[in-house]
Chains A and B, each alone.
Chain A
Amino acid sequence: MTSDVAVAGPRETRLRDVKEGGLILGAQRRVTTIDCDVHPWVLPRDVVEFVPEPWRTRYYTNRMGDADQAILFYHPPVTMRMDAPGPGRAPGEDCEDMDVFHRQVLQEGGTDYAMILPAGRTKWWDPEWETAWCTGVNEYLARTWLGTHNWHDRYVGSIRVSPGDPEGAIREIRKWAGHPAIRQVIFAPETLTAPAGHPMYRPVFAEAAAHGLPIGMHIGRESSMQSMSPVGYASYHIEAMGSWPTYYYAHLASMIFEGVFDRNPDLRIVCIEGGFSWLAPLMWRLDRYWDELKAEIPEVRRRPSEYVADQVRLTTQPIEEPADPEELNRLIEWMGGQQTLMFSSDYPHWDYDDPNRVRSHLPESWRHRVMCANAQELYGLPETRPTDQLDLNADVLTRYHATPPIQWSSYDYSDARASHAAD
């Protein structure tokens, strides 16, 4: 980093790429990396004041966290990266360190913009309670993660809705559409009690499309009890993992065959955190069935894969790791991934994909589209942004030398502390 930091004027026209080494505060730099799945911590104690009555008093006074924080079955060994900050990481540890959050999300991976998604438990059995909770979460999100924490303007966000309560969902969409940092609406696929194309959900999709907001589906994993497969409950988390993308198969097939895409050509759907190696074979299959059985659904006028190419996007995480990297490239080609894939890390979860690593695994020819351009187009993000203080201090190596926010064992990090202090 340079010692003579100059502030560029607002009409600075020279673009500086970080590779050139010169970093001037305020200078326009090319956006190269957009992370489409980053999770903030969202605690009842912070959200409750924004939850409307009567839910606030009934369910969120006295030990409000008990039900919300309860761990469910199918649990991985840890839920989050152990070096990530967050409240209650270890007994007695409260480490809500925003500097570390910004560092890990933006600085270490060279990420320009991150999409903040408030995931978590859903009250799928009572859609109106779920709306009440979403109301609180969205307000909290706007004030903190997209407000006070967002001094750098590099976080954009998604609001949560409860599609089972279409009126409530539409209310939330209307309230937040137009907020400069809100770029998407999300729900957890297992919040629905029927496949997404069911008529009861139609008004929600129409409303989002009318406001130009994509709808993202983000699997909640342990967030819901709706984990039974068509042949009963899997025994293990690792076993159930194989089935989680099938939530997306079923919702996508439903939206296609029920005409949701046909009726709403401006609708964009994002499948988040489901990986993507399933899309090509699923589309081949659905296309074949549509070719032969389409008389049952005459209002669905195009082949399924055509709707998906135009209106569906997928995030990369968890990215496949075939032994032969060429297989990954072929896979992306088969699915038209150059246009449909968007990089995501799923920070800070335990199957997090580091942007440096994903970037280096993508072929040159579509690296920019997947790491950046597809998300730029979908979320209306700019091609350049001003260099900020985080860029000036960014160093991927801090993750190896800075003391982690939580210490899990009786380790002596004195050396790391000393070196971090010197930065």
Chain B
Amino acid sequence: MLGETSGIIDTCMMPAWKSDNEVNEWFPEPWRSKRRLPAMLRNMYPAPTGIAPYGEFLDEARGPDDSFPGSDPGKIIGRMDADGVSQAVLMPQTRGPQPDIDMGTVLCAATNKWLAAQWLGKEGMQDRFLGTIRVNAEDPSAAVEEIETWAAHPKMVQIGIPLDARRPYGQRNYFPIWEAAAKYHMPVAIHSDGSASANYAPTMVGYPRKYIDFTSQESINYIHHVASFIMEGVFERLPDLKILLADGGHDMAMTLMWRMDIDFPISRHEVPWMTMPPSGYLRPHLRFRTARMEGPPPGPRRVEWLKASEAADLLVYGSNYPHWTAMHPQDVFPDLTEEQQKQVLRGNALELYAARLAQTPVRA
């Protein structure tokens, strides 16, 4: 169990708009007065409210006037203080891919402005928060422009894109976005974006019926993006690019790598630009947010698992607060050595964001 404030970096806390409509105040006209976005809460597979988990987001994180959980910076900072977290990377949600591509772009632009003004630059909070540049992956040239706009901001440390997409992210139409991210030494964080978005069936076999069925599998879907990044040669072309799987999913990484490795010698003719088997790209390019809903139960098996899955090297701590699955630093596998826990709680994040943090000294 960790003791005093020890400079833990939380790589994933979700600031929220106060209400569904607040975002409009940050839109230019005619969007501001004539367009409506879907609600922030998930329309498909909403989390039950009368039974566990009692809503998608923790009620305790609401602000005055029953504002949306995560909209009150005081609550977020309170959580950070209680957990010994010195700095948090904020990951605002942008409602997933929208059918009107321009709507998605306007929304990301508004979100970034709001984040910079209301969170990153706010009096008394400046040294606690780092930020994510949200971009609309479905409009690559607009996404690149957005990155160019915010790249010089000293607190922006990464790019953020939704888990849901129209195509796996390694495909060539998206490449300029990753190129821009790599140019500015920013990792690309992929995170579930909630809401009602233009997404496809959440599993390969169609639509589950129950929330537990949907939510227990949702974070696994990163594997399609990771396979795509690897096989399309994105990591060959951008050797410094890092991807942060900000929903977790480290538990399923090993099986994915082994599976692809078996096929590599047989099928590599499709992807001759790959210079090593798929698993070779894991350590140099991928990091996973910690997630309390995955991994073995306590026991000797877990110790073996953590070693075999390179957990200490691949995991970066992220609470995902105020989602109902939010975790605390002490939830990070106690079977890791103290050194390894420090690595997960701070060291790996420092390494991940090193180039960006060189511009902004990290609070001790």
Contacts and interface: CB of A to CB of B under 8 A. Distances in A.
- Is chain B in direct contact with chain A in the complex (CB below 8 A)? yes
Given A233-B167, A253-B208, A277 B258 contact: yes
Given A234-B168, A235-B228, A195 B255 contact: no
Interface stretch (B45-53, B86-94, B315-323): B45-53
A72 B215 CA distance: 32
B216 A289 contact: yes
B339 interface: no
B308 to A, nearest CB: 6
Interface string B172-216: 000000000000000000000000000111111111111111011
Contacts of A258: 209-210, 213
B204 to A, nearest CB: 5
A401 interface: no
Contacts of B200: 228-232
Contacts of A275: 255, 258-259
Interface stretch (B239-247, B260-268, B347-355): B260-268
- Which of B165, B208, B295, B301: most chain A CB closer than 10 A? B208
Given A241-B259, A351-B262, A77 B52 contact: no
Contact of B262 (A198, A249, A320): A320
Contact of A254 (B165, B168, B208, B225): B208
Contact of B206 (A77, A192, A334): A192
A88 B305 CA distance: 47
A193 interface: yes
Contacts of B252: 278, 281-282
A84 to B, nearest CB: 16
Interface residues of A, number: 69
A296 B48 contact: yes
A364 interface: no
Nearest to A322: B258
Contacts of A76: 263, 266-267
B297 interface: yes
A236 B231 contact: yes
B267 A241 contact: yes
Contact of B254 (A190, A226, A277): A277
B114 to A, nearest CB: 27
Given A249-B217, A351-B263, A239 B208 contact: no
Interface in B35-62: 48, 51-53
Given A277-B254, A297-B212, A351-B263, A250 B231 contact: no
B78 interface: no
Given A190-B205, A275-B259, A293-B53, A288 B267 contact: no
A46 to B, nearest CB: 30
B237 interface: no
Interface in A220-250: 226-247, 249-250
A351 B266 contact: yes
Contacts of A286: 216
Given A288-B293, A289-B215, A194 B207 contact: yes
B232 A230 contact: no
Interface string A270-314: 000001011011101111111011111100000000000000000
A128 B281 CA distance: 45
B67 interface: no
A379 interface: no
Contacts of B224: 229-232, 234, 242-243
Contacts, number: 229
A126 to B, nearest CB: 17
Contacts of B230: 239
B293 A289 contact: yes
Nearest to A250: B203
Given A77-B269, A243-B227, A296-B51, A232 B165 contact: yes
Contacts of A280: 296
B297 A235 contact: no
Contacts of A232: 165-168, 200, 224
B340 interface: no
B251 interface: yes
Nearest to A281: B251
B213 A253 contact: yes
A280 B301 CA distance: 11
B100 to A, nearest CB: 19
Contact of B231 (A239, A253, A285, A287): A239
B266 A235 contact: no
B262 A318 contact: yes
A322 B297 CA distance: 24
Nearest to A324: B308
Contacts of B266: 76-77, 350-351
A330 interface: yes
Given A239-B271, A284-B296, 18 more contacts: A76-B263, A193-B206, A195-B213, A197-B209, A228-B200, A230-B204, A231-B164, A232-B200, A236-B270, A239-B230, A240-B227, A250-B204, A281-B254, A286-B216, A292-B52, A327-B308, A333-B301, A334-B296
14 contacts: A194-B205, A195-B205, A195-B208, A228-B201, A230-B203, A232-B165, A234-B231, A235-B170, A239-B168, A240-B227, A241-B259, A253-B216, A280-B296, A281-B251
Interface of B: 48, 51-53, 163-171, 199-213, 215-217, 220-221, 223-225, 227-228, 230-232, 251-252, 254-256, 258-264, 266-271, 278, 292-297, 301, 304-305, 308
